[in-house]
Copies of this chain bind each other. A is one copy, B any other.
Amino acid sequence: MIVILKPNPDKERVARLIKHFHDMGLNTNYSEGSSTTIIGLLGDTSRIDENDIMVYDLVERVQRVTEPFKGVNRKMHPQDTILEVAGRKIGEGYFNVFAGPCSVESESQILEVAEAVKKSGASFLRGGAFKPRTSPYSFQGMEAEGLKLLLEAKRQTGLPIVTEIMSEKHLDLFADVDIIQLGARNMQNFMLLKELGRSQKPILLKRGLSATMEEFLMAAEYIFAGGNHNVILCERGIRTFETMIRNNLDISAVPLVKTLSHLPIIIDPSHAAGKRDMVQPLSRAAIASGADGLMIEVHNDPKRALCDGAQSLNIPMFETVMADVKRRVAFEEKQLQTCE
């Protein structure tokens, strides 16, 4: 439910109204825009009578949100959400590149890649320590040891890190991670979503392979409902009937999310096709469509990568892609976030 206030409301009276809602057991979301000021009400609003709110002088009108997603809904929060993580701004008007290997494999590997992607202009280092693999017999990641190496790479390069969590039990291990990634296969791991909702860590939420837009936003809503509003969405390709590529990038997800929600959305062109050669054209499409960033797999030796070698760029390729990304981000009049 949205309470739209009259222009230039008195701060004190707004505070009193908000307290009133809290007393009713509701959470509120205050959003002050240039033209309208809104109080979004979260929780069980079914028992509220609009007239009881309309009696307040400063209220212009009251509107119910029909979509099942409330907190992540743009109607609740008309301005774009801009997160600030380790000094980088993430959201509309800014552009971040999250780059690094599929998996952390060794200290030298992660350090070499980290240095290189920093130099080319990435703002975050990505790398998997816990790896969700289709087969129990495949490399499952370096786990806790991999997390240590990521933190060491962060210490040496200054690059903040993003890495995937696979279990509620591991949350403590992620204390120094800058952004926690929730992978596509866990997008509807509701217990883990709830746990992440209780933390205040920024969460990078990847869309499930066959998740509808509504399900994707509802997964984000789980995190919101727990009180954590630091969510970044990531489209990474959907499963279709096509067999030539691994997934089909759903580019329409970008304008759809921008319409329906206030959250940032980035694109992962590496998983979206599963082919190295597609990373550049899909990155270009992502930037032009309005995405707020890219997540790109980079490896110092893709042929020997322990996972996803076929879709990983080598270091010179990434440099080339980044030069192109910079020109395009400038064309879109967005600020590329870097380590400079």
* A33 is an interface residue with CB less than 8 A from chain B: no
Give the B-binding residues of A (Cβ under 8 A): 44, 68, 70, 132-137, 166-169, 185-186, 188-191, 193-194, 197, 209-210, 212-215, 218, 221-222, 225-226, 238-245, 248-252, 254-256, 258-259, 272-273, 277-278, 281-282, 284-290, 328, 331
**Contacts A133-B190, A137-B225, A190-B132 hold; do A212 and B243 have CB atoms under 8 A apart?**
yes
Partner among B44, B189, B241 whose Cβ is within 8 Å of the Cβ of A185: B189
B284 near A135 with CB under 8 A, answer no
4 closest Cβ contacts across the A-B interface?
A210-B210, A288-B288, A255-B281, A185-B188
A167 near B191 with CB under 8 A, answer yes
Least Cβ–Cβ distance between A330 and chain B, in angstroms: 11
Chain B contacts for A289, CB-based, 8 A: 281-282, 284-285, 288
**Contacts A249-B251, A252-B282, A255-B277 hold; do A239 and B221 have CB atoms under 8 A apart?**
no
Least Cβ–Cβ distance between A46 and chain B, in angstroms: 10
**Contacts A132-B190, A135-B68, A185-B189 hold; do A244 and B288 have CB atoms under 8 A apart?**
no
Tell me, in angstroms, the Cα distance from A25 to B282 when the chains sit together: 42
- Which single residue of chain B is at the shortest CB-CB distance from A269? B252
Partner among B194, B221, B245, B284 whose Cβ is within 8 Å of the Cβ of A288: B284
Residue of A134, A210, A252 with most chain B CB atoms under a 10 A cut-off: A252
